[in-house]
Amino acid sequence: MLVEPHEGFLLHEANGSMLRGVLGHALARWDARRGDTLLPDLFGATDDTGPRPYRIVSHYPQDLAYGPPGSLSIEYDLFGRAILREGAVAEAWRIACGELGFGNGRVRAEVIGVERTRVGTLAEAPEASHRTALLEFVTPTSLKLAGAASDPNLPDLLAAIARRASLVLGRPFEPPADSGLVAEPLFDEHVAHRRLSMRSGSTQLRGLRGVWRVHGRPNASESLLFEAMERFGVGRGAVFGMGQITYRPCLETPQ
């Protein structure tokens, strides 16, 4: 979605948590006007009903600063049942931009285009031919294990995304019971993301960024889970840009 902010908008204010907050208020306004239940049905999920079926991908200023000069791109994904309501969600974003505004100054913006680029489905992956890949933690990633935040490791990442994909798409995804994959950290660092919430104020969400080299040939199930990591995000705060991961197979050395 491309938006054109009015004067006074600061690019650094456009982080994922702020965008999520504005979207939530816009959904509530949509429901009040239309007699709809979009907010509680799709975005008021709890642990009992599964994770929220959306993700705001744009997280850092550099993620938002492409497109024509003077415009911003806000990228979001809808999954599962939310796909059927994509038209209403797009209209809610227009309310967010044109009526509610962004940042402390409530700067308004005009939506100049909405492009559908993905759908929230996964296809069965063919068996991989590569034996080495790079797993990059693009935005801070942390998992919640036994009720507490935990640094990610490869088995826990695969288990977490299997659960998330199962709940979002309503079909079973099984983590590998015994995997031959081995992760070798090339570079990683612990960072903190400052989240601004209208309800709880400023909080710190910590996670891991960096790159791992993954050795071993993933089977079809593991390949599908790596694809799910890229599509859905994984870990704490995935709905507002945390846990964004890419998996890139490395070219085989010619024999």
pLDDT tens per residue across span 139-152: 889 888 777 778 88
pLDDT greater than 70 at residue 10:
no
Q: Report which listed range, 51-55, 94-98, 203-207, is most confident.
A: 94-98
Q: Kind and range of the H or E element at 212?
A: strand 201-215
**Is 50 exceeded by the pLDDT of residue 12?**
no
> 30-53, pLDDT tens digit by residue?
999 999 998 988 777 655 556 788
Q: How far is CA 250 from the centre of its chain?
A: 24
pLDDT band at 11 (very low <50, low <70, confident <90, very high): very low
> pTM, whole model, 2 decimals?
0.78
CA distance linking residue 233 with residue 75, whole number of Å: 13
Average pLDDT rounded to a whole number, residues 118-135: 78
Band of residue 69 on the pLDDT scale cut at 50, 70, 90: low
Return the number of other C-beta atoms located less than 10 Å from residue 79's C-beta: 24
